[in-house]
Structure 1
């Protein structure tokens, strides 16, 4: 016996006529099918429950429980409802085709049997069944893949929110810390001036709290909040001026339309860049250049501060966030810095129509 033998399908024949059972069984086994036979509906239901077949050939006229009833019970059971049923009927019997299909049958064959017809109808239904199984498997795999993609998207969304919190809150807290340090320094010598710095620190603290709430509630998905990019950058530079006393020199040309995605990335890069200058640069001059052409946008942010070896901060969360944001819209980011030579951030973006 060949241990690698695999039947073409498992078929259950239900017929109270033994001659029919023998004829159909022989016919199908010769074609490589595995065949089981029973003579009544009740036994058939128990056998199907114990070992569901791939296909059922079901006689209509049987004592006790006819074929219609057997089929209806199968279709009412979630475990057996997908098994295809081909009804068997004699030519001289009254065969209600509408009732057969309403009960759940998928096809029918008539006695006396024509070998070619029986084999064609059986193989047709088994092929349909196999294709349905493959489709269900493919759908299950697609569902699993979609779940994995959703999980990855969730992680990416968390990272995005984390970057938003880092960019918005970090910017506000750096400015707040500088205001508080200045107020403490002036507290004894110039209380009035110190009080003004404390008032500004309080405002920055309120802004930081608002940024956290907005990020958590995902309102920060649009940090521009409907503002034009020029106006949003002007707000950043004014905040930078109040914090450091340095008013960045801006050269902005937005003659060509930009997508909101690119606007947002440009805004975030400038925001993070100014935050880093506050933290590390000790600069006296800051320049922001933005130029658009028919091909895209060029952003340059540079200062004349102390600078540092780029390898020291290449993995910093802020710079990583800049790179990720730029790449996400198809842009390129270059960061240059050397001790004593300041920072220069250059970003190039392809033009996306707003």
Structure 2
């Protein structure tokens, strides 16, 4: 190692002593040991040097002419720039009070004249070692402080980004989820919570997929669709927190290797519209069959009966052919009626309107908090396929509205049979609504209810007011 490298490694020492012999001796001892030495023969020169050069250590004589060592130490320790420089006092004074004063002013060691070179080197090296360790510790603390500040900054930035992402999520009117490659959901939005009744605080405490899809086979299909993340939409029935099921459609998009976003829509209204469309088409087909085939076959049968009476004298063969045609017409009429019946709603397939209404209320009771009562008054009689189908759909729509929007404690469904008329009433004690509002009067399925009532020539009455519940009454009179 060269002399310059040694000086850089061992440190810089300022020697302050107004006695030339002591100054030269200390300089010689320290230079030979490899230290970089700056001798100062007076206090003023020492202070001037310190202002432009910061030594690693100061050897300071106490008894000097003019400004003594105590005052020099006080000035050095009073400056923020120089207060950390260690000072070793060198003096012939060896009284305890002198040492106490030296240490009280900030000195780190005390060497008594006459001194030994080995003692000086040992004390100097000890203080420089402590100085180096102190610098290293300070630098390490500064690095740790900087790293901690950076970590806090990054964490705050991540927190703000997460809050921003959650805010964006919560204002998008579709269900959104963020999940990993294992299907574990880490973030959901407000619409997800609203529709499914699962709170963000719960997502780390429960198996969301198991709650939403109790059937293991369906759950496996859903998970496969999630992980594939093809962006293709697929429909699934999901169980909500209240225990009932809603129709949804989901598409999943991979954001990066570890994160996938799921986008879901409530398609209940779309499904209901599709079902209503199918029902309307079935009703149209039933009316077509009834108005064409059934009536045609009936007319044929009537005319064949009349023909039989007119040609009583006809041959046996002619009467036999007429009978065959009559039988064929009757079988055609039976098949036409069977086709009409086959197009009726599923709830009406195995029973009358009252039975269908009771089954409907039982189904809705399973996922509604309200108490649903279904009552039948009077002697039940058939109303005709078209009338019963439309009454069932009106009842279904009104009951669904009451369950979904009324926030009612009790919903009552009544079917009243009288001699000249029958009446369907759906009444709840919920929050009601403003029926005069254009946005509401055409919403909640009311438009469809009115159209069905007009189709079967029924009298429709809707009584409601905010805070006073809702009553829907459909009256069928004997024409």
With structure 2 as the length reference, what TM-score do the two structures score? Answer: 0.41
SS in 2 for 1:285: strand
Kindly report which structure 2 residues correspond to 1:201-280, keeping only aligned pairs within 5 A, or say none.
Answer: 239-240=194-195, 263-265=202-204
Structure 2 distance, partners of 1:166, 1:268, is 25
Structure 2 distance, partners of 1:92, 1:315, is 77
Deviation of 1:24 (Å): 0.7
Partner in structure 2 of residue 276 of structure 1: none
Q: Which one of the candidate residues 239, 247, 254 is aligned to 1:314?
A: 254
Partner in structure 2 of residue 150 of structure 1: 152
Task: Note if contact 1:283-1:303 (Cα within 8 Å) is conserved in structure 2.
Answer: no
Q: Considering only aligned residues, what root-mean-square deviation do their CA atoms show, in Å?
A: 4.3
Partner in structure 2 of residue 141 of structure 1: 143
Instruction: Indicate how the Cα distance of structure 1 residues 163 and 57 shifts in structure 2: closer, same or farther if over 3 A, else same.
Output: same
Q: Which one of the candidate residues 37, 41, 57 is aligned to 2:43?
A: 41
- Unpaired runs of 5+ residues, structure 1, are 176-222, 225-232, 241-247, 253-259, 274-279, 290-301, 323-334, 336-354
SS in 2 for 1:13: strand
SS in 2 for 1:6: helix
Structure 2 distance, partners of 1:142, 1:161, is 28
Structure number with greater CO (CA < 8 Å, separation at least 6) is: 1
Q: Size of the alignment, in residue pairs?
A: 229
CA deviation digits over 1:278-333, x for unaligned, max 9?
xx9684721369xxxxxxxxxxxx9875555x4xx2229xx6478xxxxxxxxxxx
Instruction: Indicate how the Cα distance of structure 1 residues 169 and 266 shifts in structure 2: closer, same or farther if over 3 A, else same.
Output: farther
Structure 1 distance, partners of 2:86, 2:233, is 76
Q: Which one of the candidate residues 273, 286, 307 is aligned to 2:238?
A: 286
SS in 1 for 2:5: coil
Instruction: Indicate how the Cα distance of structure 1 residues 2 and 127 shifts in structure 2: closer, same or farther if over 3 A, else same.
Output: closer
Q: Which one of the candidate residues 84, 92, 97 is aligned to 1:82?
A: 84
Partner in structure 1 of residue 17 of structure 2: 15
Instruction: Indicate how the Cα distance of structure 1 residues 284 and 44 shifts in structure 2: closer, same or farther if over 3 A, else same.
Output: closer
CA deviation digits over 1:5-59, x for unaligned, max 9?
2311111111111110111111111110111111111111001111111100000
Kindly report which structure 2 residues correspond to 1:151-170, keeping only aligned pairs within 5 A, or say none.
Answer: 151-170=153-172
Tell me which stretches of 4 or more aligned residues in structure 1 moved more than 4 Å: 91-95, 264-270, 280-284, 302-308, 319-322
Structure 2 distance, partners of 1:70, 1:125, is 19
SS in 1 for 2:171: helix
Task: Note if contact 2:240-2:246 (Cα within 8 Å) is conserved in structure 1.
Answer: no
Kindly report which structure 2 residues correspond to 1:311-350, keeping only aligned pairs within 5 A, or say none.
Answer: 313-315=253-255, 320=260
Task: Note if contact 2:60-2:88 (Cα within 8 Å) is conserved in structure 1.
Answer: yes
- Unpaired runs of 5+ residues, structure 2, are 176-186, 213-231, 264-479
Deviation of 1:159 (Å): 2.1
SS in 2 for 1:79: coil
CA deviation digits over 1:171-195, x for unaligned, max 9?
xx349xxxxxxxxxxxxxxxxxxxx
Partner in structure 1 of residue 69 of structure 2: 67
Task: Note if contact 1:167-1:268 (Cα within 8 Å) is conserved in structure 2.
Answer: no
Task: Note if contact 1:163-1:321 (Cα within 8 Å) is conserved in structure 2.
Answer: no
More deviation in 148-157 or 160-169?
A: 160-169
Structure 2 distance, partners of 1:154, 1:142, is 18
Deviation of 1:163 (Å): 3.0
Structure 2 distance, partners of 1:151, 1:92, is 55
CA deviation digits over 1:106-132, x for unaligned, max 9?
111011111121111100100010001
Instruction: Indicate how the Cα distance of structure 1 residues 49 and 81 shifts in structure 2: closer, same or farther if over 3 A, else same.
Output: same
Question: Rg bigger for which structure?
Answer: 2
The yes-or-no answer on 1:125 pairing with 2:127 is: yes
Partner in structure 1 of residue 432 of structure 2: none
CA deviation digits over 1:91-118, x for unaligned, max 9?
5778611111111111110111111211
